[in-house]
C-alpha cells in the first residue's frame, strides 16, 4: 500500500496542478442582481390553487413600488345571481407594494380552468376637480382551477 504523499503526487501528475481556490464575490459585483430588484417585480399567489366551489381563496400580491392599487379579476369570482361573467376586486397596496385579500368562490362558479388577471396601477386624484387618473404599471396572469363542491370536505 502506498503512502498518502505518494498518492497525492500521482494524482497531481494525472490531473495536473490544482486550481487555486477562488474567493466568494463581494456583494454588488458584476453578475449579481441589484439589491432593490424585488421592488420592480410583479407577482401573484392564489391559495389554494385548486379551490372547490363555495370556498374562499386568499390572494397575495406584490406590485412594483410605483403602484398604489391592484385590480384582480377572474371568471371564477362571479357573484350568485349576477349577470356579469367577469368580476374584478380592488386591492390597496402598502408602500412596499404588498397586498392581501380574501375572495369567495361562489357555489355557482363554473367548473374548470380560469385565469386570474392582475393589473398594478398608479391612481392619482385631482383634489380640486375630483377626477382620477390611472396609469398601468404592470400586469400578471395566473391559472386557477375550480373543482366541484363536495360536502365531505367539511367532515
Q: What pLDDT is recorded for position 26?
A: 58
From the list 46, 45, 53, 48, the residue with the least C-alpha distance to 147 is 53
Predicted confidence at residue 41, as pLDDT, reads 83
Specify the pLDDT at position 133. Answer: 94
pLDDT in tens, 72-110: 999 999 888 888 889 999 999 999 889 999 999 988 888
Tell whether pTM > 0.85.
Answer: no
Delineate the domains of the chain, giving CATH numbers in brackets: 39-153 (2.60.40.10)
CA distance 5 to 13: 12
**40, 62, 70, 99 from 91: Cα distances, Å:** 18, 11, 5, 7
Amino acid at each position: 500500500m502506498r503512502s498518502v504523499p505518494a498518492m497525492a503526487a500521482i494524482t497531481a501528475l494525472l490531473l495536473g496542478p490544482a486550481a487555486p481556490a477562488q474567493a466568494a464575490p463581494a456583494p454588488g459585483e458584476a453578475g449579481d442582481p441589484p439589491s432593490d430588484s424585488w421592488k420592480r417585480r410583479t407577482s401573484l399567489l392564489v391559495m389554494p390553487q385548486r379551490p372547490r366551489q363555495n370556498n374562499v381563496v386568499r390572494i397575495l400580491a406584490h406590485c412594483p413600488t410605483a403602484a398604489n392599487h391592484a385590480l384582480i379579476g377572474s371568471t371564477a369570482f362571479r357573484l350568485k345571481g349576477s349577470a356579469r361573467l367577469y368580476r374584478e376586486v380592488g386591492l390597496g397596496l402598502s408602500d412596499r407594494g404588498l397586498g392581501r385579500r380574501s375572495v369567495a368562490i361562489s357555489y355557482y362558479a363554473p367548473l374548470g380552468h380560469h385565469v386570474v388577471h392582475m393589473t398594478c396601477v398608479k391612481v392619482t386624484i385631482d383634489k380640486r376637480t375630483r377626477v382620477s387618473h390611472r396609469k398601468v404599471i404592470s400586469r400578471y396572469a395566473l391559472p386557477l382551477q375550480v373543482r366541484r363542491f363536495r360536502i365531505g370536505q367539511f367532515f
